[in-house]
A = this chain, B = another copy of it.
Amino acid sequence: MFDDSTESASKVNEGIEQPPSLNPALKRLKGKIKHHLTIDDFFNGIKNKNIAVLSRAITMIESALPEHHQIAQQIIEKCLPYSGKSIRIGITGVPGVGKSTFIETFGNYITSLGRTLAVLAIDPSSEISHGSILGDKTRMETLSVNQNAFIRPSPSSGSLGGVANKTRETIILCEAAGFNTIIIETVGVGQSETAVHSMVDFFLLLMLAGAGDELQGIKRGIMEMADAIAITKADGNNETKARQAGIEYQNALHLFPPAESGWIPKVVTCSATQNIGISQIWNLVKNYFDEMSDKGFVLHRRQLQSKFWMYETINESLKENFYQKPEIKKELMFFEELVLQGKMTPHSAAANLLKDYLK
């Protein structure tokens, strides 16, 4: 369904994507593309589902150059009225849980239903690999050549807040390009889950059976965010164990206070390699989305999320401005040390540091 008449986009993604020859997914990005695109070119390209233009617009969002940033904001502004018409799904789980395999099978199932899928990622650790697309795409071989799927790796630099911001803006462009299903993937070991949870309609936590919680490395609080938990690798010898774990988690989740929506998180088992439980998970997501849409809760949650991000962006900017001042940087460690040694109250230390700044 996507425009193929575009020239190599690898140029605009320099340093992010691998050479096309290494990656079959990039073949469809080949074709002619104008070197200089106006805002209208970007907008029309995105609206016409031109993946090369979409990719280039996302690169603008991720760019560190102020002029790119400005262009990106204008593109986003034009796309904004056409966004919002997708199911946004967050998926998390620690390495080893089989996240890529799951997303590949799950994604192919979703597109087999006639839907279009964009897979985005928030992975602060990707800074090390410079956000290489290779990792994600080679792990999702069949999804990456699926004509109805678009995989985009994590932005490779910046604070979590900055990265999350870029991902949220990328969602807008993907939705304007007609993708009606968005998966945001992240690793279940840090604060990025909270960020992802705050930009999706449904949050799915992948867990292993019997690995022991201490081995799973899931951070406290993440389980409470989940709209569903899927116990992965529920096949062969592992099936009984997975089923048992499923019952235990279901009992545990029942003890949690209910979410504002009244939804009680579900626990399911699945096997991505054996294609077991995949359609059930999609039905779960779809039913949740339909039920919550009818109740007006999807819109409500998205509005709360937008509000949250507005304030979050302001608050993060205020902090950044303060903590990056050279004079603050110089004094911060000194006062922190006094506080750690119990020689000064946190309150006094804060007052000392703020004294000049808030004048």
Q: Which A residues lie at the B interface, using CB under 8 A?
A: 73, 76-77, 80-81, 83-84, 165, 168-169, 172, 213-214, 216-221, 223-224, 248-249, 251-252, 254-259, 303, 306-315, 317-319, 321-322, 335-336, 339-340, 342-351, 353-354, 358
**Copies in the assembly, this chain:** 2
Residues of B within 8 A of A313 (CB): 346-347, 350-351
A307–B339 touching, CB < 8 Å = yes
User: Can you show 22 pairs from A to B with CB atoms below 8 A apart?
Assistant: A77-B344, A80-B343, A80-B345, A81-B342, A84-B342, A169-B345, A213-B254, A213-B256, A219-B257, A221-B224, A248-B255, A251-B251, A303-B340, A306-B346, A307-B339, A309-B346, A310-B336, A314-B354, A317-B350, A317-B354, A318-B319, A318-B354
A223→B256 contact, CB < 8 A: yes
Contacts of A169 in B (CB 8 A): 345, 347
B residues in contact with A256, CB < 8 Å: 213, 220, 223
Query: What residues of B have a CB within 8 angstroms of the CB of A349 in the complex?
Result: 310
Closest beta carbon of chain B to A196's beta carbon, Å? 16
Closest beta carbon of chain B to A173's beta carbon, Å: 11
Q: Are A347 and B309 in contact (CB under 8 A)?
A: yes
What are the residues of chain B within 8 A of A344 when measuring CB–CB?
77, 80
In the bound complex, what is the Cα–Cα distance between A350 and B319 (angstroms)?
Answer: 14
Complex formed: what's the CA distance from A236 to B310 in Å?
Answer: 52
